[in-house]
A and B are shown apart, each in its own frame.
Chain A
Amino acid sequence: MSDASYLHDEPAPRISVASPSDYFALLKPRVMSLVVFTALAGLLLAPTPPHPLIGFASLLAIAVGAGASGALNMWYDADVDALMTRTRKRPIPAGRLDPEAALGFGLVLATLSVFTLGYVANWFAAALLAFTIFFYVVIYTMLLKRWTPMNIVIGGAAGALPPMVGFAAATGEINLASVVLFAIIFMWTPPHFWSLALLRSEDYARAGVPMLPNVAGEDRTRLEILIYALALAPLGVAPWLLGFASLAYGLVSIGCGIALVGMAAAVFKQREGDAARLAARRMFLFSILYLFLLFLVLVVEQTAHIFALI
């Protein structure tokens, strides 16, 4: 192009009309809020809680790191997102934001979040956050998601790491309690997403994403949901059994675990028509409530413990 030819001889360069809210949507705010919540639980498990401002800044860095992962995921998956009803209104497939802008945004935020956590907390936590972003973007999004129905089983590790990052931010190390929280989220992820996949199997099939119902069939998926729920329910009680959560947590986790297994059993049993869809939908929604309640009790009792210390 000659120096100024685009001024008059060629169409004007495309100028973005993306609003700040489009960039915010790239961060996957709902996922980010879950990450903040679980990281907070990990952070509060520290024997000596950090200064409130250090804790806040650490959580902010972890949240931004999670948001960066979301932005990079949306950049890479824009083609798949455009084919799925659930995701086609995202900023890139909707045409409100250029993929290159999302890539740059994600990379800048990823770098900023890791270095901020390193400065604010410690470099072990920063390295763990960097690994989490790498795992979600490269291992899950780029390698596993379009390749194997085990995508969310292995990729679930990325979503399960925030409590460990939170604990590491407060202490500079990881311990058994933070690993147990990791394990709970890790075991929770497959039945949660497979319930969604049962409801959206046509969507995933159209996009060519090999989710379990499309590859192994719905019956096998229902069985896997039940198996994972049976494994998750006792694991959810482990924080109480291991002594880092109270009896109140133990009772909530037992009650919620029984309900979760009951709903997984309903998914396994109801295989046809509206009843099957309703069972999968209930399982999907309750799995969100299950994880929320478990971590809420942990956060509340750890906060009460800290205030009692003060």
Chain B
Amino acid sequence: MVSEMIDAGDKMKERASLFDRPGVVLTEEQARSRRARNVAIGVTIALLAVLFYAVTLVKFGAAIVNRTI
């Protein structure tokens, strides 16, 4: 029982040390393409938000200013 607990502790220390290491390091090409994809996704979502906002304004029309404050 005690030896199993010691083994488990050793394994946890070993795993913790693994995570201290750098892990997967992207090549320059991988990092560049990932950055480009992220920028494209960000720009697309931003444009989509603007489009939905503008469409909502158009669909509401003048009624959008009729609200109780």
- A binding-site residues for B, Cβ under 8 Å: 3-4, 7-8, 12-13, 15-20, 23, 51, 53-54, 57, 60, 119-120
What would 5 more interface pairs be, CB under 8 Å, given A8-B21, A18-B37, A19-B37? A16-B33, A16-B34, A19-B33, A20-B39, A54-B58
User: Please, which residues of chain B bring their CB within 8 A of the CB of A16?
Assistant: 30, 33-34, 37
For residue B49, CB closer than 8 A to chain A, the reply is: no
For residue B29, CB closer than 8 A to chain A, the reply is: yes
Instruction: Give the size of the chain B interface in residues (CB under 8 angstroms).
Output: 21
Mask: chain B, 12-47; 1 = CB below 8 Å from A; 0 = not: 000100110101101001100110110110000000
Contact between A8 and B18, CB atoms less than 8 A apart: yes
Tell me whether A12 and B21 are in contact in the complex, defined as CB-CB below 8 angstroms, given that A20-B36, A51-B58, A120-B55 are known contacts: no
Q: Which of A4, A18, A53 contacts B55 (CB 8 A)?
A: A53
Contact between A15 and B30, CB atoms less than 8 A apart: yes
User: Please, which residues of chain A bring their CB within 8 A of the CB of B8?
Assistant: none
User: Please, which residues of chain B bring their CB within 8 A of the CB of A18?
Assistant: 33, 37
- B binding-site residues for A, Cβ under 8 Å: 15, 18-19, 21, 23-24, 26, 29-30, 33-34, 36-37, 39-40, 51-52, 54-55, 58-59
Q: Which of B24, B26, B51, B54 contacts A7 (CB 8 A)?
A: B24
* Residue ID in chain B nearest A3 by CB atoms: B15
26 contacts between A and B (CB under 8 A): A4-B15, A4-B19, A7-B19, A7-B23, A7-B24, A12-B24, A13-B24, A15-B26, A15-B34, A16-B30, A16-B37, A17-B30, A18-B37, A19-B33, A19-B36, A20-B36, A20-B37, A20-B39, A20-B40, A53-B55, A54-B58, A54-B59, A57-B51, A60-B51, A119-B52, A119-B55
